[in-house]
Amino acid sequence: MRISSLPSLGAPPLWLRMVLQGLYPLFGIVMSLVLLLITPFLLLLWPWDRHLSILRCLFLTVYVMWEDIGLVVECWYLRLRSPRGTSPTWDEDHFALIKQALHNVLFTAKRVVGFHVEIEGELTVGRPGHPLVVISRHAGPADSLAIAWLLASTAGRVPRVILADAMLWDPGIAMVLQRVGSYFVPSRSGAGDDRTKGVADLAATLSAKDALLIFPEGRNWTRDRHEDQVRDLRAKGEADRLATAVARPWVLEARSRGVAAIREHAPDADVLVIAHTGLDMISGPAAVIRNVPFRNRLLIRGRTYRSEDVPTDPDEVADWLEARWGEVNYWVDNRISGRDHL
């Protein structure tokens, strides 16, 4: 299961999503057979691929696909049990699906490609009786997956995610996240209305058991994207923003409108700000294969703020987020350069 940004691809129409759901198990069978057929040839590459990185990545890809197919089948089953979605255990059943799938994928990824998560210090996840808003840096492979796993398995909270509508192409992710109440942000080309309206509507429905996950950068950090951002700001003559971007090489600009909408409509939610590092430089399939098995862990640090300590005025939210993003960049820089802790 994957949760990430696919900004260049819009959402499929509803009829196509239904077709994809129906064909998904058949596609999984075909891909599994293909993997079985090419495995002997991949084993012959051992003199050049001593870690069998290609085979490991392909195996994990097919495994994740079957976990995703499992979500589709389980969602079908739950719909048959409760056609109108009125079962008293409807929410709990879908949360259990998410929690188990995330656990299975992280467990398998650790053993197959060495992907593992480590938490620095104590990770607090808000106070009982308060919803939680999670604001995270976005960088490296599967960071969003790991954070969702932490929220579901460690914190026991239902992850409600703000993600690109291109993820509606993924049948399992689309079905289960739509049912627990997530928001698929429409692509810019198709977003005639305010893109923050859906975020605000989602925030207004948060319950005490929920954790709303948002990546204010809007896309995965890479060195190339940061350099592109600096070039664009220089070309536009945005001196202040340029100076900030240059001083923060490990993050992209954080957009505050979504966070401000959440604060306005969920003012009682505690806020967890997450920084992480370890797999930052790995972007794209080729880079992933070159680095398998992963020798670095995904190191996560979280700091939680009480709801009353976080502003709700949009301008104040923007300033508050800027300050937090400076801290995130500083923490990442210290971990990468090996300097002392904050």
Q: What whole-number distance in Å separates Cα of residue 17 and Cα of residue 174?
A: 9
E strand or H helix at 279, and its extent?
Answer: none
Enter the tokens of residue 138.
């976005």
What would the pLDDT profile of 133-162 be if each residue is shown by its tens digit?
Answer: 999 999 888 888 899 898 888 888 888 888
Give CA torsion, residues 213, 216, 222, 223, to 10 deg.
Answer: -150
Q: Give the burial class of 292: count Cβ atoms within 10 A of its Cβ; 0-12 exposed, 13-18 middle, 19 or more buried.
A: buried
Q: What whole-number distance in Å separates Cα of residue 166 and Cα of residue 13?
A: 11
What would the pLDDT profile of 191-209 be if each residue is shown by its tens digit?
Answer: 445 678 889 999 999 999 9
| pLDDT surpassing 80 at residue 105 | yes
- What CATH code is assigned to 14-337? 3.40.1130
**What is the CB neighbour count within 10 angstroms for residue 167?**
21
278 — alpha (psi -120 to 50), left (phi > 0) or beta? left
Q: What whole-number distance in Å separates Cα of residue 57 and Cα of residue 188?
A: 32
| Residue 247 pLDDT grade (very low, low, confident, very high; cuts 50, 70, 90) | very high
Q: Is the peptide bond before 293 cis (omega within 30 degrees of 0)?
A: yes
Q: What whole-number distance in Å separates Cα of residue 341 and Cα of residue 326?
A: 15
What would the pLDDT profile of 157-188 be if each residue is shown by its tens digit?
Answer: 888 888 888 888 999 988 998 898 888 888 76
E strand or H helix at 214, and its extent?
Answer: strand 210-214
Q: Where are the domains of the chain?
A: 14-337
Give the 3-state secondary structure percentages of the chain, helix then strand then coil, rounded to 5: 55, 10, 35
Query: Considering only 102-116, 181-195, 317-331, which range has the smallest mean pLDDT?
Result: 181-195
